[in-house]
Amino acid sequence: MHDILTITKDAHICVVGLGYVGLPLARLLVESGYQVTGIDVDETKIRQLLSGGSYLSDLSNDDIHALFQSGRFSCDTSFKPVAQSSATIICVPTPLTEEGQPDLSYVTAAAASISLFLQKSQLVVLESSTFPGTTEDYVIPILEGRGLTAGRDFFVAYSPERINPGDSFDIRKIPKVVGGIDPESTRLAVELYEKVFERVVVVSSIRVAELTKLLENTQRFINISLMNELAMICDKWKINLWEAIDAASTKPYGFTPYFPGPGVGGHCIPVDPLYLQWIAEKYGYSLEFIKLARQINEAMPEYVMDRIMRLCSSNHPQLLLVGLTYKPDVNDLRESPAVDILKQLQADGHDVMYHDPFIKEIDIGGRILKSVDLTPEVLQQVDVVAILTNHSNVDYEMIMQHARAVLDTRNAFGMAHNRPNIESL
């Protein structure tokens, strides 16, 4: 029976979770010929999509319009379309709890909703970043809750998302890692993704696929923490770390550049290593590199604030923070160290403004702050400008010309750090 199962080019696919991963994936699936239903329990997102609006910086309103105009896309808050699908892909968030432990509530809730409509011979793929064992130990038991058996009645695979918000790199060219609970599950997942991605990389198990994503981001987490620690000592040595990184990058082998900053943010780098640490501790292991990297990165906002205050020439300075999002050219504030810096500076009683072309306003402890226009007059009135996120559509030349003092935590000015009014992290 299994040999005749196939996912055709015009098959119906459900994508659960229409955020930074799910909505771009849904678009790729549509462009590849699939019929796609996007499902999200957030009614605000669904209403905005149905009205032709985008809530992601990577997709324009025109992109959303084209998605619906294709005739192959619909969206809903209901999971009923799962019953008519060939495959359902789960792309929901996997954040941390307040205690810093994995929060699988979005994943388990999605699995429970899918189970109500799951049919025989369907494929379910989890893409949410998570620790090894999540799919088999948490998701499959929920999917089997109404009597169907994974590997016999329906099929399950894991494929880690590799969406990089704000990056113009063609997603189709990013190799797609796939691992299933059995050969048939793997085959169907490959059949699904090979129509979308230029290369599909098959691994031997779901757990290998789950570990792959955590491995990628834990490597980045640890190496960024090293650069952040070096930034602190380079300040004492009066050495520009960015220049040293540029020089080291000329080596044609054995060196991969990583960069310092005010901390790490986003949905992956500060979160995924803690998923790995948590599951390792369940098996009696302590991943000391991750612990130390977390300690260093969590100290960076305080260090950046200290550097800002050292540049102030008055006891009651006016401060301007440029960039609040966790990375350039996205409207994503998740785990952003810049937001932590803004909150703490305000809590300390400082007069703080911000400019971010992607964040028009932000709620800080019940107080709404609005992004100020970046003008010569604003720059001349503040004591210090801190570049916390290097958006590409910011006029750095104007900042360089009119700001009294600048702390550049992102190397936005390059070698202009030699100017007397600019300090590099």
Cβ partners under 8 Å of residue 107, min gap 6 = 90, 92, 94, 126, 128, 130, 134, 138, 139
- Could you give all domains of the chain from N- to C-terminal order, each with its CATH number? 2-204 (3.40.50.720), 216-424 (3.40.50.720)
- Residue environment code for 202-241, b if the CB has 16+ CB neighbours within 10 A, otherwise e: bbebbbebbbbbbebbbebbbebbebbbbbbebbeeeebb
Report the catalytic residues: 268
User: How far is Cα 239 from Cα 333, in angstroms, rounded to an integer?
Assistant: 31
User: How far is Cα 146 from Cα 112, in angstroms, rounded to an integer?
Assistant: 10
The tens place of each residue's pLDDT in the chain, 425 residues long, gives 344 578 998 999 999 999 999 999 999 999 999 999 999 999 999 999 999 999 998 999 999 999 999 999 999 999 999 999 999 999 999 999 989 899 999 999 999 999 999 999 999 999 999 999 999 999 999 999 999 999 999 999 999 999 888 777 899 999 999 999 999 999 999 999 999 999 999 999 999 999 999 999 999 999 999 999 999 999 999 999 999 999 999 999 999 999 999 999 988 899 999 999 999 999 999 999 999 999 999 999 999 999 999 999 888 899 999 999 999 999 999 999 999 999 999 999 999 999 999 999 999 888 999 999 999 999 999 999 999 999 999 999 999 999 999 999 999 998 755 688 899 98
User: How far is Cα 375 from Cα 145, in angstroms, rounded to an integer?
Assistant: 59
On the 0-12 / 13-18 / 19+ scale of CB atoms within 10 A, 59 is middle
- Which tokens is 160 given? 């880690």
**HSE-CB for 166 with a 13 A CA cutoff:** 16
